[in-house]
Structure 1
Amino acid sequence: MLRLICALGALTLLSGCSSAKQKSSKVKFDKELVIAFGSCDNQKIENLLWDDVLKNNPDVWIWGGDNIYSDPYNKYKMIGDYDTQLRGDDYRELMKSTEIIGVWDDHDYGLNDGGVEFEHKKESEQLFYDFFNEPKNSALRKREGTYSSRTYTSNAGSVKIILLDTRYFRSPLTKDFGSSKRYMPNAYGDGTLLGAEQWKWLEQELISSKADFNVIVSSIQVLSNKHGYEMWGNFPHEVDKLFNLITTSRAKGVIFLSGDRHISEFSKININGLGYPVYDFTSSGLTHSYEKFNGEENPFREGKVIKQRSFGLLKLNLETRKVKMQMVGDGNILLQELDQVY
């Protein structure tokens, strides 16, 4: 009910409601945890998908980044943009029934394609936490970067969701002046995506994880690495570091969720020594998509690219160890589906 009050408040109430306790992460489920997620939601455009999200009764909703479009940064504009998002009728219904967590990307960070150089990142971080109703005295607010994790447990097993911050510490990108692509990969070893402290944290999160599935949320794509926009592939040494960590940590059932691209697709890789395939499920965008998409190289793609507005569903069955990944469009239409047993 408190979330609903926050959503209905005036602009000045947005910060005031943020002092309330965050909704408990002790989601009750039996054998299957249902996660819905999506990215690229422009608060100025009607989101036609919230009613479809509600029909699927997710246990958790994950914002995948670009949760509002509020760049270049202006504090009061960003407060208003978040408030607009909170006022949506269907989104208020989702807040009442579903735990809501998430990551940010550049447009809700406050600087298009921005990284470590953004001068207002500390201020925008606090507004990000206001949106998620994080208590004012939360330890998360005192730490630089918006990374965190949640573990969801039932008698059948558990799922850990790891939320990465791919903005706060990210080194400058290398512009590609020799082709039509926006960026080219940095020289191997040059720069960082997560920063030293977040890397240490992620290592401990995976090494210590006893979960049956470890869902890692990245605002930008992890596997697709040929399109020339923002991606993990712009830091090839960081990709290798990530894959090595997944293997050496022996973390079970690692699945990536990503956004940013205004298209939805599945990507898959078999990492040497891991014993199971790793998927990157990209879902984007919620209010607008790349409808003129006519193809791009992705050596890891499974299935086809979906270019209409959609959201993702991830259904994790802890009894059978079966995962169902679904892309869902307006009218609750199933656009593409993929199953994997771990």
Structure 2
Amino acid sequence: MFKPLALASLISIVLSPLSVSADADSSAAVTRVVFGSCIKQDQPAPIFSAMAAERAELLLFTGDNIYADTEDMAVMRNKYQTLSQKSGFASLIDSGTVMATWDDHDFGVNDGGADYPKRAESQKQFLDFWNIPADSPLRRRPGVYDSQTFGPEGKRLQVILLDTRYFRSPLKKGERRVGGPYYPDDDAEKTMLGDAQWRWLEEQFRQPADVRLIVSSIQFVAQDAGQECWANLPLERDRMLNLIRDTRANGVVFISGDRHWSEVSALAEKTPYPIYDITCSSLNQLHPRGTPTDNRYRVSESTYHRENYGLLAIDWQGDAPTLAFEIRDLGGQRVITKKLTLANLSN
């Protein structure tokens, strides 16, 4: 739970890192969450103003927050600086509590995983920019995975930020399909999260919560169509579903990005209850192809390919709390909606 550093702090960060901004009251129930992914730091991002206008208590940056694509940490710092200077960014991050994870481009390399040689150095740049305090556990362990729980008993929202990059094994490649060159791989030695993160995740699932938002930078539910997704490592995907079932973790909904379009997917195979994945992308880029890959799990009536962000409104009142997810366009208008009842998200 943190705020990014201001520009002046970024310039002097090596000499004097700042402490984290004052935390929001984690005992208060969260009713509005704004989220989004994929920010080209060199392009205008007018959508920041629309996001700030939602007056959400919580802001989730779900990956590709810059396009660093470098092994040069000075270049990466400069790109974070560029983001911090964008019109509307400062107002946005001041509008609510901020949590963030990364995807491949802010990790440092397109489609990258554990073989990226500068992953430790990149993690430091990420933690410095997002103003993680010096005594945070994130400063003492590999990977940027994190979690936070908000609200009182009966209205607890747990946000789990996964790191799908630092530990991820190389993906299996083959003939290029519409989405890319990747294919499912049943190699039991390969991992998405790494042993330590898997153990940590089990601990999070065993903590009390009513709603659990799992932020995965890549899609969890979507079928493989050549792109990066959990379906490329089906044993790891099954492991996640088994963990949700075995820990009796209720209220799980995934939020993902990466694809430069938005859609809603749902999985009811091998699951204790339907698992939804709200894919929201991108904040300031248009997909060059303009058409989505095949996805038999898609349940939204359409996909959306222009600039967009996500909004979650949680109604905790009454006997049947609801989660209303919306994908909104540059002007704040709804383009995709999905309403879930918390009672239907339980073991």
- TM-score normalised to structure 1 length: 0.93
The structure with the largest strand share of the pair is 1
Q: 2-side partners of 1:84 and 1:38: how far apart?
A: 18
1:292 matched to which residue of 2? 289
Aligned CA distance change for structure 1 residues 53 and 128 (closer, same or farther; 3 Å): same
Q: Following TM superposition, by how much is the alpha carbon of 1:317 offset from its aligned partner in structure 2, in angstroms?
A: 2.2
Q: What SS does the aligned partner of 1:299 have?
A: coil
Q: 2-side partners of 1:124 and 1:47: how far apart?
A: 24
Q: Following TM superposition, by how much is the alpha carbon of 1:14 offset from its aligned partner in structure 2, in angstroms?
A: 4.1
Identity of aligned residues (%): 33
Q: 2-side partners of 1:28 and 1:111: how far apart?
A: 38
Q: 1-side partners of 2:326 and 2:160: how far apart?
A: 20
Amino acid across the alignment from 1:300:
Y
Q: Following TM superposition, by how much is the alpha carbon of 1:104 offset from its aligned partner in structure 2, in angstroms?
A: 0.3
Aligned CA distance change for structure 1 residues 67 and 78 (closer, same or farther; 3 Å): same
Residues 176 and 182, structure 2, Cα contact 8 Å, conserved in 1: no
1:204 matched to which residue of 2? 203
2:338 matched to which residue of 1? 338
Residues 154 and 210, structure 2, Cα contact 8 Å, conserved in 1: no
- TM-score normalised to structure 2 length: 0.91
Residues 222 and 297, structure 2, Cα contact 8 Å, conserved in 1: yes
Aligned CA distance change for structure 1 residues 18 and 252 (closer, same or farther; 3 Å): farther
Of 309, 312, 318, 1:311 maps to 309
CA RMSD in angstroms comes to 2.0
Bigger CA drift: 211-220 or 146-155? 146-155
2:34 matched to which residue of 1? 36
Bigger CA drift: 239-248 or 175-184? 175-184
Q: What SS does the aligned partner of 1:224 have?
A: coil
Amino acid across the alignment from 2:298:
R
Q: Following TM superposition, by how much is the alpha carbon of 1:90 offset from its aligned partner in structure 2, in angstroms?
A: 1.5
How is 1:43-62 mapped onto 2 (pairs within 5 angstroms)? 43-62=41-60
Q: Following TM superposition, by how much is the alpha carbon of 1:292 offset from its aligned partner in structure 2, in angstroms?
A: 2.8
Aligned CA distance change for structure 1 residues 28 and 197 (closer, same or farther; 3 Å): closer
2:222 matched to which residue of 1? 224
Q: Which runs of 5+ in 2 are unaligned?
A: 343-347
How is 1:123-272 mapped onto 2 (pairs within 5 angstroms)? 123-154=121-152, 156-177=154-175, 179=177, 181-206=180-205, 208-272=206-270
**1:107 is the counterpart of 2:105:** yes
1:302 matched to which residue of 2? 299
Q: 1-side partners of 2:331 and 2:13: how far apart?
A: 32
Residues 188 and 236, structure 1, Cα contact 8 Å, conserved in 2: no
Q: 2-side partners of 1:246 and 1:48: how far apart?
A: 38
Bigger CA drift: 65-74 or 283-292? 283-292
Amino acid across the alignment from 1:184:
Y
Q: What SS does the aligned partner of 1:9 have?
A: helix
Q: 1-side partners of 2:91 and 2:50: how far apart?
A: 12
Q: Deviations over 1:96-120 (max 9, x none)?
A: 2211111101110111111111111
Q: What SS does the aligned partner of 1:301 have?
A: coil
Amino acid across the alignment from 1:280:
D
Q: 2-side partners of 1:19 and 1:150: how far apart?
A: 21
Residues 70 and 109, structure 2, Cα contact 8 Å, conserved in 1: yes
Q: Deviations over 1:160-185 (max 9, x none)?
A: 00000000000001111375541111
Amino acid across the alignment from 2:275:
V
Residues 41 and 69, structure 1, Cα contact 8 Å, conserved in 2: yes
**1:64 is the counterpart of 2:62:** yes
Q: What SS does the aligned partner of 1:307 have?
A: coil
Q: 2-side partners of 1:200 and 1:287: how far apart?
A: 35
Q: What SS does the aligned partner of 1:125 have?
A: helix
Amino acid across the alignment from 2:216:
S
Residues 63 and 101, structure 2, Cα contact 8 Å, conserved in 1: yes
Q: What SS does the aligned partner of 1:245 have?
A: helix
Q: Deviations over 1:189-221 (max 9, x none)?
A: 241000011111111110x22110011000000
Q: Deviations over 1:283-329 (max 9, x none)?
A: 01111021532342111101211111101111222234200000011
Q: 1-side partners of 2:97 and 2:176: how far apart?
A: 45
Residues 37 and 63, structure 2, Cα contact 8 Å, conserved in 1: yes
Q: Deviations over 1:81-104 (max 9, x none)?
A: 111111234111122221111110
Residues 9 and 18, structure 2, Cα contact 8 Å, conserved in 1: no
Of 77, 90, 93, 2:91 maps to 93
Q: Which runs of 5+ in 1 are unaligned?
A: none
